[in-house]
């Protein structure tokens, strides 16, 4: 089959790799219809994540069609259109039962193979899904595949970030980063009834989209977010900062914007040091929440919102490419060219 594969730092390839096969009775083979290119894929692309085998199929977001199942799979059959979260989960371990599916003891992350072990990703014609019964979900009737793709990662992650921020209707909030997860966080804050939202980024197209979702846009390259927000809050600060970037600069900005006793909710993948210490957090009575979204848990929780918000959720997908154009799709996404917020690859 064809796939977009990791080769080296900023080096991908569209090439043939072996078709996936059923290895365990709980496996399913999915023919991929669309696969997302995610901001966290860029950590691999830029070599910030080490140890991944050369030739690993990239990507952890996909929607597709079941073409084969192992003998133990009961919940799906050939022809079903399914969504997957970005990690597999067993559904019965302690962490799965408390809703922390991202920390399942049998968890595997798509697009991560080391020394020949692990899973190929979804930016391929086919993908093997272990523990299919508890990992996959049927695409809800009447929901677009694009919205389904977003549910498996970005929408779930944005909503999780908002819930961790303890959104209140009369609160004031700041979102740092207006990529697809940040935009979903804005949408989630609005779903949770808050109206006073600031969106901070430097890319005009993303700020315009944030504004259309109901946030006040601030371009940190041409404006001073701290001055603007402190002036608006009478030098108090926001009740919570939703940080989806995962950089030292973002954590520094978050600390400057949040009020004493406020919350920083972080879902950005951090590969750089934090800009503040536990002592800094103590001195501000800070509530700090961080971690990977338990996407499979949230997929079930948020299904009913997909029909109502399908168009808005799907609208952050600005670019579509054929799988064969995947290497170029990464370049455009990485360079943020042509107003690219999020891309999908079609197999």
Whole-prediction pTM: 0.96
Q: Where in the chain is CATH 3.90.180.10?
A: 2-153+294-346
Name the phi and psi angles at 98, rounded to 5.
-95, 10
Q: What pLDDT score was predicted for residue 51? A: 84
Cα separation, 122 vs 85, whole angstroms: 11
Name the phi and psi angles at 222, rounded to 5.
-120, -10
Side by side, the strands of the sheet bearing 216-219 are 216-219, 196-201, 172-176, 238-243, 258-266, 287-290
CATH fold, domain 157-290, is: Rossmann fold (3.40.50)
Q: What pLDDT score was predicted for residue 343? A: 97
List, in sequence order, every residue forming a beta bridge with 344; answer none if it has no partner.
36, 320
CB atoms within 10 A of CB 191: 15
Q: To the nearest 10°, the Cα dihedral for 220, 221, 226, 228? A: -80
Q: Which of the listed CATH numbers 3.40.720.10, 3.90.180.10, 3.40.640.10, 3.40.309.10 matches domain 2-153+294-346?
A: 3.90.180.10
The residue count of the chain comes to 347
Q: What pLDDT score was predicted for residue 274? A: 85
Q: Provide the token pair at 61.
A: 């977001």
Q: What is the mean pLDDT of each run of 10 residues along the chain (347 residues)?
A: 95 97 98 96 82 94 98 98 97 97 96 95 98 98 96 98 98 97 98 96 97 98 98 98 94 97 93 88 96 97 92 96 98 94 96
Q: Where in the chain is CATH 3.40.50.720?
A: 157-290
- Angle at the Cα of 24 from the Cα atoms of 22 and 25, rounded to 5 degrees: 95
Q: Provide the token pair at 318.
A: 């600005």
Distances (CA, A) of 288 to 145, 199, 299: 34, 20, 24
């Amino acid at each position: 089959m064809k796939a977009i594969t990791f080769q080296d730092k900023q080096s991908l390839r569209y090439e043939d790799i072996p078709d996936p096969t059923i290895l365990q009775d709980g496996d399913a083979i999915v023919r991929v219809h669309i696969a997302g290119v995610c901001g966290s894929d860029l950590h691999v692309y830029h070599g910030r994540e080490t140890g991944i085998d050369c030739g690993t199929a990239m990507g952890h977001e996909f929607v597709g069609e079941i073409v084969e199942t192992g003998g133990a799979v009961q919940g799906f059959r050939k022809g079903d259109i399914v969504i997957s979260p970005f990690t597999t989960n067993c559904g019965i371990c302690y962490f799965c039962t408390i809703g922390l599916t991202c920390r399942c003891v049998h968890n595997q992350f798509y697009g991560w193979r080391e020394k020949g072990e692990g899973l190929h990703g979804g930016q391929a014609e086919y993908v093997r899904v272990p523990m299919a019964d508890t990992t996959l979900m049927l695409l809800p009737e009447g929901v677009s595949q694009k919205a389904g793709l977003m549910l498996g990662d970005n929408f779930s992650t944005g909503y999780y970030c908002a819930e961790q921020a303890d959104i209140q209707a009369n609160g004031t909030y700041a979102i740092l980063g207006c990529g697809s997860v940040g935009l979903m966080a804005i949408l989630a804050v609005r779903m949770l009834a808050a109206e006073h939202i600031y969106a901070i980024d430097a890319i005009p197209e993303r700020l315009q989209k944030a504004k259309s979702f109901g946030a006040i846009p601030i371009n940190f390259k041409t404006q001073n977010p701290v001055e603007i927000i402190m002036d608006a809050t009478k030098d108090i600060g926001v009740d919570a900062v939703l940080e989806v970037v995962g950089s030292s600069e973002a954590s520094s900005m978050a600390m400057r914007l949040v009020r004493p006793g406020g919350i920083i909710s972080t879902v950005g993948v951090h590969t750089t040091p934090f800009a503040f210490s536990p002592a800094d957090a103590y001195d501000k009575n800070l509530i700090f929440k961080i971690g990977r979204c338990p996407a499979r848990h949230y997929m079930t929780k948020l299904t009913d919102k997909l029909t109502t918000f399908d168009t808005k959720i799907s609208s952050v997908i600005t670019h579509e490419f054929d799988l064969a154009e995947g290497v170029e799709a990464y370049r455009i996404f990485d360079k943020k060219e042509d107003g690219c917020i999020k891309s999908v690859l079609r197999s």
